[in-house]
Structure 1
Amino acid sequence: MDRIGENDCGVTKPEGVRVTGNRRALRDIKNLVGAPLHPCAVTKRASTDKSNLGHKNPTFVPRRPRTRKFAATLANKSQADGHHEHIGNERKHDPQIPSLLSSSSLDTCTATDTNEHGLSEELPMPMAEETEEMDISDPEEVEMENLAVEMIPDIDSCDSKDPLAAVDYVEDIYSFYRQIEVTSCVGPDYMSNQFDINEKMRAILIDWLIEVHYKFELMDETLFLTINIIDRFLERQTVLRKKLQLVGVTAMLLACKYEEVSVPVVEDLILISDRAYTRNEVLAMEKLILKTLQFNMSVPTPYVFMRRFLKAAQSDIQLELLSFFIMELCLVEYKMLKFRPSLLAAAAIYTAQCTLKGFKHWNKTCELHTAYPEDRLLECSMLMVGFHLKAGTGKLTGVHRKYSTFKYGCAAKSEPALFLLNAGL
């Protein structure tokens, strides 16, 4: 036997084998039935299937999902003789295992040592454990599961090309918001620690700030952050009655600095408060609020969740305006502090949908993205319907007047969903 080359140490060239280039040509495979249709379709790992032990040419089983009928076929074939002609004849009569034609393209695979029949002894057979891993359930069940998944639309597909939408991270962002939203909440009874103010004074202040916000044409985020700053500050710091309005205008100044592009100047806020405070008092209160809140302005308010949940509801402008009208009615009410921002947002949209449609409406998409089923929203929604019913009455009508304008679609003039008041909890 001759040496092939000085770079192939220890490798000898068998007699009768033609060498072409750097590889050895395959011997005649004699068109054996069962050869794979596609070259290199089988891995090089040796088989340990007990049904093939003792056979020089192991049974060739095509890889396919293992159904019950196919499993029975494999069990029967594991006891059959491993001769290739016998395998070929058996496959001709078996409707479950299609016949595979040999292909001359097999020479594209890496050459291996062949046995006397021309087949590689290293060709692996799928083991019983491997076929179990490929086992699938009933195709009809799989099809129904896929159909159920497809019924829930991808609400972010329309923004896939918008880098500002952060489609790749939006689910993680809102998951983080849910984890930290408790940090933006206050105790529902914090007014008990105040000795000179009460919840009615708070309602008067917020109703006035909503009008100021509307007059200055500020962003929606600014209003929600302003009220959040006020509540978190009042929970930690006692305030005199005559300083409550100062807390309100200063909180709005801080929210404007955080959210707005064009920030109102201090003199504008002093003027809007009828010059009740000086510039130095406003700046001093600003320092006190920031120190009390430890400069934490990044909290998820109901507005953050409103934008996401409205997208999940596939809202139009009418639903959006009515949802924000209901939500701003809740900002005035002290009793609504017991609900989380995400729950308030989901309940506002649910109540608005029921108001416009005239019946209960909360689909699977809304439930998926809000993580609130309908029964979790009913308590909060019933309170919102009550606020909607009395929005135009009493002394605090700032929200009603704002949403009675044409700019806000006259959302305040819609009929409240009174049927929700009779809904069982």
Structure 2
Amino acid sequence: MTRPASFRVTDTGNRRALRDIRNVVGAPPYACPIGKRGFPDKGSLDDKKLTLVARRPATRKFVASLASKSQPYQQGTNGQHQEDGSQSQYNPPVPLVVPKSSCLDSCTTIDVDYNSSNDIALPMVEEMDDSDLKEVAMEDLVTETIPSIDICDSNNPLAVVEYVEDIYSFYRQTEVTSCVSPDYMSQQFDINEKMRAILIDWLIEVHYKFELMEETLFLTVNIIDRFLARQTVVRKKLQLAGVTAMLLACKYEEVSVPVVEDLILISDRAYTREEVLEMEKLIVNTLQFNMSLPTPYVFMRRFLKAAEADGKLELLSFFIIELCLVEYKMLKFRPSLLAAAAIYTAQCSLRGLKYWTKTSELHSNYSEDQLLECSRLMVDFHQKAGLGKLTGVHRKYSTFKYGCTAKSEPALFLLNTTL
């Protein structure tokens, strides 16, 4: 089939196939239309001025950088450059192209003389004085900020770095609901705070024997206190309430939950399976099935991360705060304050001096002065941990598994610190 006359190529002139455009060895060079005006032709650098297209705005910082990189060159008396063959004696002026429109044909060339002592004349650039130079230098300064503690977990989806601050902001708003009245025992007629301490000290040993998660222990104590604050319990049912609270905490936190028979066995068969299930229904109805409350454990994890804690500081912090679980008087402190004070007390114990960083203060929202009252009580508990009858926490942290943390020296100097 022949091509129509309108599409026939009659005169190719100097046209070449696409494969022959500057990609065949020995192909003759072709004229570049840009070289006619915007750029110098080949071999004409010695007799033509170099023209550059200004691609960035002429800011004061950019002009200052140009002036700092300038080199002196010699200039003739008649306004022309001296061409004596010595290239090192001068550098040709670099003209700038100031585009008046998007077309290259409408560009104007401006010669910039770096050797001149006068101010640099550029469009839209004001004369710079000393204050301008200082302003340029100040632009490079970086303000000191507190580093983020979540950078290392940016690629960990379980760390939920994107909204972890929102989570802990919600914890702070709701932690009041997890607190109970510090004198709720006055409403109980058959039990007292000493019986509560005996129960929790025993549950800490049960928790250690069953190798349960740390979250389970803190939630167990929280369930017990919230239940006793709303429901009167007789003395012989207090242990039943304790083991049932641990059963509920295991169902909420653990992957592998202990069976009811195990809890009955650990209670020396003092209760039956039916009694445990009846107590379970009573507790969840009294608490309105609300088990999702922030305990000191969730704040411990966040504050330990802010403190850049190692294994030794972490163990000592948990040892101190578990001592507080047994003490009824510590119910007057919020969970977040207990966590921050435990870490602060542990740091003081390990370092031998008061230590609380700005990062810890920022993420805990507690200053050192706000922690001193709670911290001094913790030092007293630490000092007396191995004494008396309730030594379950001390025995637990005296094992090799917990690094013999209970043998660490308490920060006694905090007892003499004034508020």
TM-score (norm. length: structure 1): 0.70
- 2:232 match: 238
- Is 1:404 the counterpart of 2:406? The answer is no
- 2:168 match: 174
Q: CA offsets, 1:296-342, max 9 Å, x none? A: 11111000011111111111111010000000000000010111111
Of 261, 277, 283, which residue of structure 2 is paired with 1:267?
A: 261
- 2:319 match: 325
Distance 1:141 1:348, change over 3 A: farther
- Is 1:379 the counterpart of 2:407? The answer is no
Any gaps of 5 or more consecutive residues in structure 1? 1-27, 30-35, 43-61, 66-98, 118-124, 127-134
Runs (4 or more) in structure 1 with deviation over 3 Å come to: 36-39, 62-65, 99-102, 137-145
- 1:90 match: none
- 1:346 match: 340
| Aligned pairs (5 A) from 1:252-291 | 252-291=246-285
Distance 1:278 1:142, change over 3 A: farther
Separation (CA, whole Å) in 2 of partners of 1:322 and 1:220: 14
What letter is aligned with 1:213? H
Q: CA offsets, 1:154-209, max 9 Å, x none? A: 22111111111111111111111111111111111111111111111110000000
- 2:207 match: 213
- Aligned-pair distance for 1:153? 2.8
Distance 1:269 1:172, change over 3 A: same
- SS state of the match for residue 301, structure 2? helix
Separation (CA, whole Å) in 2 of partners of 1:294 and 1:218: 25
Separation (CA, whole Å) in 2 of partners of 1:143 and 1:379: 45
On the 8 A contact 2:60/2:136 being kept in 1, the answer is no
- Is 1:300 the counterpart of 2:294? The answer is yes
- Is 1:413 the counterpart of 2:407? The answer is yes
On the 8 A contact 1:37/1:100 being kept in 2, the answer is no
Distance 1:388 1:140, change over 3 A: farther
Which of these two proteins has the greater Rg computed from alpha carbons?
A: 2
Of 142, 149, 152, which residue of structure 2 is paired with 1:158?
A: 152
What letter is aligned with 2:388? G
Separation (CA, whole Å) in 2 of partners of 1:231 and 1:144: 54
- 2:217 match: 223
Higher relative contact order (CA 8 A, sep 6+): 1
- 1:337 match: 331
Distance 1:178 1:102, change over 3 A: same
- 1:184 match: 178
What letter is aligned with 1:336? M
- Is 1:315 the counterpart of 2:321? The answer is no
- Aligned-pair distance for 1:404? 0.4
Separation (CA, whole Å) in 2 of partners of 1:237 and 1:270: 22
- Aligned-pair distance for 1:141? 7.5
- 2:67 match: none
On the 8 A contact 2:321/2:342 being kept in 1, the answer is yes
What letter is aligned with 1:323? S
Instruction: Count how many residue pairs are aligned between Structure 1 and Structure 2.
Output: 331
TM-score (norm. length: structure 2): 0.71
Identity of aligned residues (%): 75
Q: Could you say what the CA RMSD is over the residues aligned between the two structures, in angstroms?
A: 3.5
What letter is aligned with 1:273? S
On the 8 A contact 2:300/2:339 being kept in 1, the answer is yes
What letter is aligned with 1:192? S
Separation (CA, whole Å) in 1 of partners of 2:368 and 2:284: 38
Distance 1:228 1:140, change over 3 A: farther
- SS state of the match for residue 161, structure 1? coil
